[in-house]
Structure 1
Amino acid sequence: MNNIAEKLQHFRLDATAVSALRDFLPTIERNIDPILDIFYSYIQKWEGVPEVLKDAQNLNVLKDVQKKHWFRIFNGDFDDDFLQKSAKIGEVHEKFGITPQWYIAGYNLIVDELLGLVLKTYGKSPQKAMPLCQAITSAAFLDLEVSMSSFVDHSSQTYTKKAQSNFADHLMDRSVNLSMSVNEASIANASILHSIRTVDSDTQQIAAAIEQMVMGFQTISENSTEVSRSATEALLSTQNGQEATRQAVDSMNEISQAVMTAASRVDELSEASQQIGEIVGSIEKIASQTNLLALNATIEAARAGEAGKGFAVVAGEVKALADQTSRATDQIRSRIDNLRDEMARIVVSMHEGTQAVSNGQGVMKTVDDNMHTVAQQIQVASQSMDQISVVLDEQIEASDSINTAINGIAQSSAKNVEDVKSNMIAMQSVEHMIKEQMETLDNFDIPQRIIRVAKSDHVIWKKRLADMIAGLEGLNPDELADHTCCRLGKWYYSEDAKACHAHSAFADLEDPHKEVHAHGIEAVRLYNAGDVEGALAEIAKVDTYSKEVIRLLDELIERKIK
């Protein structure tokens, strides 16, 4: 029954009743304030009354609304606007938390006061009091029916909306927490993926290095065997050399003995030459004397004349022989002198040869000693090379085992990479569902929605950087938003955030939020430039500042900031 005419007929508010109400309006205008004071004083004594009804300013607003409404009723302004205003009163009281029991009881109190005022005014005139009391009762019930209908409808809507809002509120927390957990897990997976890829790459390199090492061990082992064989041959050659050196020493001893003997013989020959020289000297003397005798004989033969001619011939022959002997002795002396000079040089050479042989004997002795030392060293080296060869064989076997294990690790690393990637793809689906759920929650009036969603945004920001490091997403630093353009930044610098300006957590939020974006953009720039380690260092800073941002956001949430 929404039509005003139908309602007036149903509640018997005809022209007579409206006229009675209008006649009583001046009395109402004079007495409405005390009646309303009694009403609100009475309900303030009830247990569990809302705090809003204890505030003087709120009471004045409610009283003013009530006063105007009762003036409208007693003025008989029953039209569609009256229905809307009456319905609005019921809605306002519902918003203030006044229950139907309190509202009806309070309304009954006002009606009682109004009827008491009628009896007080027209107590001696029942013909005026009765129609007026009936009109007041009908108007009060009409007003109560409209306001209570609005009260119940709005209460139902409020309850439903409140229930939905409470559900959305709790769902928002769960969605934000789930988003943060999923994204933190994705960040961890991205980090694991990056680490596994690094391990996989390192393992492949280690496997290749070990394979090369095994090949190197094999080559060294082969070379060691060859060196050992060569050392054995060198040892044999050294031993042969020692034997040859000993034989050479013996031969040089014999040569030295022979030279000494020859030197002795040369000395004897020199003495003999000297004796021959002495003999030649004697012969020279004899030849000189013979020559002198021949000269004398010739002189005497010349003196003898003819008789001495034969003697002169003999003397001439003797002189010729003496001359010949003298020349022969001169030649012999010259040859003996030459022989003696040669013998002297031979003696010197023989002495030098003897010294050289002696020196050679010393050198050969040193060579023999050195060759003996070399032989010992070669023997030790040969034994060491044999030991090295054995150790290398063991190392080759161990390296083969390590190589097999490393290859197994490499295969496991490759599988782990694929498993983590599959896990991250699955988590991306969860992230997509959470994002859709968060978008649905935008339709609800959820307290601190921007602040709460900002927590999730920060983890998503870190996740994108982690995905970049893992090679799952490419980012352009020039396209990334700074701290003023993201969801949190737009709210932070908007009029909507004014209610937070007085709180220290709000003021403290700006710097770490700015650092999160600055270091994130720098991480992307470094990564794109090939500096992965530098990018990881910047992401670590993002994580540090992001945790501070989330802590401050939690502080704002705990303070129930709108």
Structure 2
Amino acid sequence: MLSFGRKPDANASATLGTATPANAPAPDWANALSTAIREIRCGRSPELSGLPPQAASALAELHQELRARNAAELERTVNASVQNSEAMAAVARATGEVRKMDTHVSGMSTAVEELDFSIHSITKLANTGADSLSACVEQSQTALEAVRLTRSETEQLGGAFETITGRVTDLEQASRQIAEIVDTIAAIADQTNLLALNATIEAARAGEAGRGFAVVAGEVKALSGQTAKATEDIRQRMDHLQQQVAAITEAVSNSSGSVQEGINAANASENAVNSVTDTMRESARIVSEIAQLITEQSSATTNLSSSVSEIASGATRARERVEHVVEASAGTESTIGQTLAALSERNIDNFVLHCAKSDHLLWKKRLNSMLVGATKLSESELSDHRSCRLGKWYESARSEYGRIPAFQAIEAPHARAHECGKRAARLCAQGDYAGAEAAVEEMEAASEEVIKTLDRLIGELSADTVSKAS
């Protein structure tokens, strides 16, 4: 016989006949007692009218105690289911966030490693650039010295050309003076020739007496002719010399202009090379500072990469632990389901209403798991508000409880909870995760309203049951 954890009353035992010998005939109320015990075990109210008063009283008390125990066990189980579902809904969201964090941190770890590699490469390039710029500064300095030397030599060449120009000018003046002297000699020769001609004429007039004078006049005339010829030759040579001197003067003048242009160009080149050298020197300084900063950044990035790798490992471990919690909770959920299935056979008051609270929280957990990709749900898998356990009970109990305000208040939020849940599944399947999350939040609000209304209805029905029993 089952033990219900209650010490039997001695008088009751005597009344029930526990001391009756085994071969004694069963009392006429034995069948009624057996039937009453079976009814009590099933949670139904037993028929006690055919039993002795003490037995009937004991069984009635036992029945009430078992009903209270069953109700308490149901409430504890439902509360455990609600708390587990609430926790698992939160864990499901946390799992999604941890997975996102794991993915992001893994991606960030890879990115930081690539950044670290890039910064090392940039550091090498920056150092190479700084070295190259330093070499360029040295080469520019060498080029500057060469330009300065070229300018100095060009200035010396300009001085030499100025000297040549002066000498050529003196030569030109001398040639003009010689030309003037030649012109004077030519004039004298012409005059001498004219005088010789006049002397010859006078000698001819003098006859024999002027013959000696005529000879002298002839010699003078011949000498005058030679002088004129020589003077003409000198004039031609001086003309040629003057032409050459003019050409030299022009060439020297042109060369002097070119030399001056060369000096100006050398000065401009010196200024340009100076500017380039200063710019390169400043650039080399800046690049050197950048290389130093990048080297420091490289060290910091290396430390960051190490830290991010540790964070990534921690995120992976956190994800694995959260998933382990989810797996463990699945076992708890299964145990709670088995307990509720066993309690469903005990005819507990308001059983469906209590279970409906658990059902709605399970719905919430499944939808949150769907949001983070832990489970797959299609819209067709989810029932509407008339096909679920609460919906079926609601339709069947409408005629009995339809006038109760709490009963009436259940339908609207209940329908809204199912509609939002189905919409969330549809949007999630379409890839609209933001819309699905918003729909789940609406479902949670409606479901919370349903649970509060269920508690109110359970309280009203329990109070009504107590008043009827009294």
Q: Distance in 1 between matches of 2:121 and 2:331?
A: 54
CA 1:211–1:489 in structure 2 vs 1: closer, same or farther (change >3 Å)? same
Q: Distance in 2 between matches of 1:409 and 1:263?
A: 87
- Secondary structure of the 2:345 match is coil
2:136 to 230, 234, 239: 234
Q: How does 1:211-250 map to 2 (within 5 A)?
A: 211-250=113-152
Q: Distance in 2 between matches of 1:507 and 1:205?
A: 53
List per-residue Cα deviations over 1:426-483 (Å, max 9, x = no partner): 2112211211222233334433333322211111111112222343321112332233
**Between Structure 1 and Structure 2, how many residues are aligned?**
414
Structure-2 residue corresponding to 1:517: 418
1:269 deviation in Å? 3.1
Point out the structure with max Rg over C-alpha.
1
1:434 to 302, 316, 336: 336
Structure-2 residue corresponding to 1:275: 177
- Secondary structure of the 2:313 match is helix
2:141 aligned partner, one-letter code: Q
Q: Distance in 1 between matches of 2:456 and 2:185?
A: 147
1:258 to 137, 147, 160: 160
Structure-1 residue corresponding to 2:102: 200
Q: Distance in 1 between matches of 2:183 and 2:408?
A: 140
Structure-1 residue corresponding to 2:29: none
Aligned residues of 1:294 and 1:319 also touching (Cα < 8 A): no
Structure-1 residue corresponding to 2:345: 443
Q: Distance in 2 between matches of 1:506 and 1:283?
A: 155
Structure-1 residue corresponding to 2:397: 496
Task: Give the TM-score of the pair, scaled to structure 2.
Answer: 0.73
Aligned residues of 1:173 and 1:452 also touching (Cα < 8 A): yes
Whether 1:387 and 2:292 are equivalent positions in the alignment is yes
Q: How does 1:13-24 map to 2 (within 5 A)?
A: none
CA 1:512–1:416 in structure 2 vs 1: closer, same or farther (change >3 Å)? same
Structure-1 residue corresponding to 2:239: 333
Whether 1:366 and 2:274 are equivalent positions in the alignment is no
Q: Identical aligned pairs, as a percentage? A: 29
CA 1:251–1:301 in structure 2 vs 1: closer, same or farther (change >3 Å)? same
Unaligned runs of 5+ residues in structure 2 are 1-31, 37-47, 465-470
Aligned residues of 2:353 and 2:458 also touching (Cα < 8 A): yes
Aligned residues of 1:197 and 1:417 also touching (Cα < 8 A): yes
- Secondary structure of the 1:560 match is helix
Unaligned runs of 5+ residues in structure 1 are 1-86, 92-145
Q: Distance in 1 between matches of 2:161 and 2:412?
A: 107
Whether 1:355 and 2:260 are equivalent positions in the alignment is yes
Q: Distance in 2 between matches of 1:176 and 1:305?
A: 181
1:368 deviation in Å? 5.3
Q: Distance in 1 between matches of 2:377 and 2:369?
A: 10
Q: How does 1:52-451 map to 2 (within 5 A)?
A: 149=51, 159-283=61-185, 285-286=187-188, 289=191, 315=221, 319=225, 322=228, 325-326=231-232, 329-330=235-236, 332-333=238-239, 335-336=241-242, 338-346=243-251, 348-367=253-272, 369-371=274-276, 373-374=278-279, 376-378=281-283, 380-381=285-286, 383-385=288-290, 387-388=292-293, 390-392=295-297, 395-396=298-299, 398-451=300-353
CA 1:469–1:285 in structure 2 vs 1: closer, same or farther (change >3 Å)? farther
CA 1:387–1:422 in structure 2 vs 1: closer, same or farther (change >3 Å)? closer
Task: Give the TM-score of the pair, scaled to structure 1.
Answer: 0.62
Aligned residues of 1:176 and 1:452 also touching (Cα < 8 A): yes
CA 1:174–1:284 in structure 2 vs 1: closer, same or farther (change >3 Å)? farther
Q: Distance in 2 between matches of 1:548 and 1:290?
A: 152
Aligned residues of 2:402 and 2:408 also touching (Cα < 8 A): yes
1:247 deviation in Å? 2.2
Aligned residues of 2:134 and 2:281 also touching (Cα < 8 A): no
1:401 deviation in Å? 3.7
1:386 deviation in Å? 5.8
Q: Distance in 1 between matches of 2:259 and 2:157?
A: 8
